[in-house]
A = this chain, B = another copy of it.
């Protein structure tokens, strides 16, 4: 058997300790599958004294991840610190520069610096793998990078944040408010104390920006992602959606349009009968549409120590098997120097159906005014529901489902309705995503 692959791990949280535990428990099986042992030889974390329930006596401790990245005692640098702190950036950069393979779960870092890192990795002929960064244990990246090489991808969409899907699932199944669900998610450890990153859609945006690059061969462009979170989704929206045959999911969507690539993260209406509507709780899912395959769908655990460790070790195994020579390994499907510039399609040009909710004063002429503004903006309606979701004699809720129109039309119509003074509260609109 060939000599061991020597690994250094930076970051010893849930994922890092899971990786170490699993590599040890399954050492002989993994060595058999990879043709050589995988050995943790070094670690780096903030607090050396902390008891993590794993024996670190036979591994070298580095106070600085950058020093570990530079060390010639490792073959692979695993980055599990997370976030965009400068030290994380420096450590990954250093590891690549000295020619160590890198495995990371850090979508935030890659969404900002992925292309720069990919250029270095490809120049050096080494691996920069990041399966754990998106979809937890679901092997999405490998599929897009390696299995789908012959496909021209036209659209991807997915549930990429377990926290949001958990909250939306409980709001639907139990009729709870957003606030109560969020509080519960925090109690159960599914949401952070500061949940903005998840519920604001930013975590999904990071992942989507990377998937977009993999799908379309374009440079990663996080700043071009349109982002809306789920905090303004109400029980009224969820109930009305259900009545009309829809579920509300926070989706990341990227697709090619005539004016460029749309990257959007927002609450989305999906047909109740669609596969994506059946993804419950913290589960993640990704749908890929392409010329050769029609639709491909993956679902599985999007987070958690074990699932994320599964992805990290899958990446390590690729590196362990690739010997004695290196393989040619584009990081983002297409070689980093050949990525085309990202051409953004503006959200105002987005074309699709819309769910619109208006809370209006119950007085004569309101409905006619609403209908007129829709017509003035060339919006034709598929369904109209007028209902008293709120117990009140003087407030009515109007729900509209539009046929395909553009975002600019919808926004103009709503501005005009608002100007008329008929609205009791801010209008709500949610984009409808068509399914294959």
Contact = CB atoms under 8 A, between A and B. Distances in A.
Given A142-B147, A149-B33, A310 B335 contact: no
B139 A147 contact: yes
A306 B292 contact: yes
A323 B327 contact: yes
A295 interface: yes
A313 B150 contact: yes
A378 to B, nearest CB: 35
B34 A314 contact: no
Interface residues of A, number: 62
A207 to B, nearest CB: 17
Contacts of A321: 327-329
A139 B325 CA distance: 25
A264 B35 CA distance: 32
Contacts of A90: none
A322 B327 contact: yes
Given A33-B334, A335-B32, A294 B298 contact: no
Contacts of A275: 275, 278, 299
Contacts of A324: 325
Interface in A267-301: 273, 275, 278, 290-301
Nearest to A338: B32
Question: A interface, by DSSP: helix, strand, loop or mixed?
Answer: mixed
19 contacts: A26-B150, A32-B335, A36-B328, A137-B296, A139-B143, A146-B318, A147-B310, A150-B317, A151-B310, A275-B275, A290-B310, A291-B306, A293-B307, A293-B310, A294-B300, A295-B301, A297-B300, A321-B328, A324-B325
A30 interface: yes
A22 interface: yes
A32 B190 CA distance: 41
Contacts of A299: 275, 296-297
Q: A30, A34, A35, A147: which has the most chain B beta carbons within 10 Å? A: A147
A74 interface: no
A311 interface: yes
A435 B215 CA distance: 32
A333 interface: yes
A272 to B, nearest CB: 11
A69 interface: no
A148 interface: yes
A99 interface: no
Nearest to A306: B292
A8 interface: no
A131 interface: yes
